[in-house]
Amino acid sequence: MKGIFITATGTGVGKTVVAAGIARHLKENGVDVGVMKPIASGGQEDAQFLMQAAGVEDSLEAINPVFLEHPLAPYESARMEKRKIDLKSVARAYQALAQRHAVMVVEGVGGVRVPLTKNQDVTHLIRLLKLPALVVASASLGTINHTLLTLEALKKEKITVVGIVLNFFDLDDLACRSGLEFFKEKKIPVLAALPPEAGFADNPDLTARAFSKTALARWLAKLSYTH
pLDDT surpassing 80 at residue 227: no
Number of compact structural domains in the chain:
1
| 51-62 pLDDT, tens digit each | 999 999 999 999
Average pLDDT, the chain: 95
Give the pLDDT confidence score for residue 47 in this predicted structure.
97
Give the pLDDT confidence score for residue 202 in this predicted structure.
80
| Mean pLDDT across 153-159 | 98
Domain, as residue range, for 138: 2-225
CATH code of residue 57: 3.40.50.300
What is the C-alpha to C-alpha distance for residues 214 and 47, in angstroms, rounded to an integer?
A: 25
| 167-185 pLDDT, tens digit each | 999 999 999 999 999 999 9
What is the C-alpha to C-alpha distance for residues 146 and 139, in angstroms, rounded to an integer?
A: 10
What is the C-alpha to C-alpha distance for residues 14 and 32, in angstroms, rounded to an integer?
A: 23
Handedness of CA 148, 14, 165, 131 (dihedral sign): positive
Burial of 215 (0-12, 13-18, 19+ CB in 10 A): middle
Task: Name the nearest CA neighbour of 169 among 143, 146, 140, 136.
Answer: 140
Active site residue 88: no
Catalytic hit among 2, 15, 37, 84: 37
| 66-101 pLDDT, tens digit each | 999 999 999 999 999 999 999 999 999 999 999 999
Give the pLDDT confidence score for residue 200 in this predicted structure.
62
pLDDT surpassing 70 at residue 131: yes
DSSP annotation of 201 reads: -
pLDDT band with cut points at 50, 70 and 90 for residue 226: low
What is the C-alpha to C-alpha distance for residues 204 and 49, in angstroms, rounded to an integer?
A: 9
pLDDT surpassing 50 at residue 105: yes
